[in-house]
């Protein structure tokens, strides 16, 4: 049976929680000091219906704390009226350009302001849900695991065990997954079969890590595919994403189509800006972790960090958290000559 291990990296301004599956990252959860209120998957709210759009078959909801969500007008929801209160559960978190998606529970009673019906779970509690009996590893080991998980989230190409690679590229309509045979030796047909089966297993884990769902199209390698074997492999690999996983057939074009529920916000949206590169805030938090690591390695040193002006500005909200950890023995210097993704930490 596959074993899951849990890691929690507590850094200056940002905590990162990682679920490892067979020594590979499967989930990455992030909580930043300045995160605005947000609706998490599985949370329950009392919501007010602020607008009905019958043409879109949608109700727009106010969840309190400035949080909004959308509810499909189907089933009992078609009887909702504007201004009414309902109890809902978050079925999918908000993502770029999309509101959170809600699932109707029942009309809320008695009348009360919109808001959470249950306390929001802490990051450590959310992490523990994935393996209730597993211990949580902290410290430098957790930081290394979290760094590796973050890098895997943002990577496009991933090596496959045994050779070959897997490329994962999300688009607005679907996520395209390409299997490459690489330098696998031996019988070509057998190598292609093994690469495809391995790719399905790896794709399921990586999609959970990246927070990707919806329509998936896997471009298989080779030809004459064993549809039943691939379907059985996908059913096992995507079991943690159920219910709601829909498996399609292997097409005559050599693609395997399936769909998984969209539940969490894609991690790339948390870590990157609109250009697709790491955001200034993500880079700033990485810089502060580097300062913290250097400061712990040399307890008496004064530290200086040089970085791009945008990164220095983005680090400001988190400087107090690093000061609490290291004391006031570091300085951030904005250097216009440095590229956004480069910084330098020195000790004296």
Q: Is pLDDT of 164 > 80? A: yes
The reply to whether 279 and 336 lie within a common domain is yes
> In angstroms, rounded to a whole number, what is the distance separating the alpha carbons of residues 68 and 47?
9
The reply to whether 210 and 105 lie within a common domain is no
Please check whether residue 88 is in contact with residue 47, taking contact to mean a CB–CB distance below 8 angstroms.
Answer: yes
The reply to whether 126 and 98 lie within a common domain is no
Going by pLDDT thresholds of 50, 70 and 90, the confidence category of residue 247 is: very high
- Global confidence as pTM: 0.89
Query: Do the bridges between strand 4-11 and strand 67-72 make them parallel or antiparallel, or are there none, so unpaired?
Result: unpaired
CATH number at residue 111: 2.40.50.140
Per residue in 64-116, pLDDT (tens digit) is 989 999 999 988 888 899 998 999 999 999 998 899 999 998 766 656 788 88
Look over the chain and give the mean of its residue pLDDT values, rounded to a whole number.
Answer: 91
The reply to whether 17 and 143 lie within a common domain is yes
What is the model's pLDDT at position 1? 47
CATH number at residue 257: 3.40.630
Number of domains in the chain: 4
The reply to whether 127 and 25 lie within a common domain is yes
List, in sequence order, every residue forming a beta bridge with 259; answer none if it has no partner: 215, 246
The reply to whether 220 and 280 lie within a common domain is no
CATH number at residue 343: 3.40.1260.20
Domain with 84, as residue range(s), is 44-116
The reply to whether 52 and 134 lie within a common domain is no
Going by pLDDT thresholds of 50, 70 and 90, the confidence category of residue 185 is: low
178 in helix, strand or coil?
Answer: strand
The reply to whether 75 and 181 lie within a common domain is no
Residues with Cβ within 8 Å of 61's Cβ and at least 6 positions away in sequence, in order, are 47, 48, 49, 50, 68, 69, 70, 71, 86, 88, 102, 114
Per residue in 248-301, pLDDT (tens digit) is 989 989 999 999 999 999 999 999 998 889 999 999 999 999 999 988 888 778
């Amino acid at each position: 049976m596959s074993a899951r291990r849990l890691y929690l990296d507590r850094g200056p301004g940002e905590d990162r929680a990682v679920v490892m599956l067979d020594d590979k990252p499967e989930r990455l959860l992030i909580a930043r000091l300045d995160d605005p209120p947000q609706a998490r998957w599985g949370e329950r709210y009392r919501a007010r219906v602020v607008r009905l759009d019958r043409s879109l078959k949608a109700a727009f909801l106010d969840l309190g704390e400035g949080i909004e969500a959308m509810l499909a007008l189907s089933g009992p929801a078609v009887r909702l009226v504007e201004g009414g209160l309902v109890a809902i559960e978050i079925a999918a978190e908000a993502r770029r350009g999309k509101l959170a998606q809600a699932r109707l529970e029942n009309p809320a009673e008695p009348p009360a302001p919109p808001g959470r019906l249950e306390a929001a779970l802490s990051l450590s509690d959310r992490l523990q849900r994935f393996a209730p009996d597993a211990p949580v590893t902290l410290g430098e080991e957790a930081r290394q695991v979290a760094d590796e998980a973050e890098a895997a989230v943002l990577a496009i190409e991933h090596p496959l065990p045994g050779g070959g690679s897997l490329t994962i590229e999300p688009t607005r309509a679907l996520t395209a997954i390409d299997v490459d045979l690489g330098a696998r030796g031996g019988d070509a047909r057998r190598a292609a079969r093994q690469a495809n089966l391995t790719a399905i297993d790896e794709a399921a884990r990586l999609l959970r890590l990246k927070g990707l769902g919806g329509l998936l199209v896997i471009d298989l390698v080779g030809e004459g595919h064993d549809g039943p074997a691939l379907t059985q492999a996908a059913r096992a690999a995507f079991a943690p994403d159920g219910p709601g996983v829909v498996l399609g057939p292997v097409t005559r074009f050599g693609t395997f189509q399936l769909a998984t529920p969209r539940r969490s916000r894609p991690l790339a949206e948390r870590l990157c800006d609109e250009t697709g590169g790491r955001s200034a805030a993500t880079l700033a938090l990485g810089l502060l972790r580097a300062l913290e690591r250097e400061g712990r390695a040399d307890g008496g040193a004064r530290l200086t960090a040089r970085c791009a002006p945008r990164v220095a500005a983005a680090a400001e909200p988190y400087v107090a958290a690093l000061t609490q950890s290291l004391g006031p023995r570091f300085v951030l210097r904005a250097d216009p000559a440095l590229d956004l993704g480069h910084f330098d930490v020195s000790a004296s």
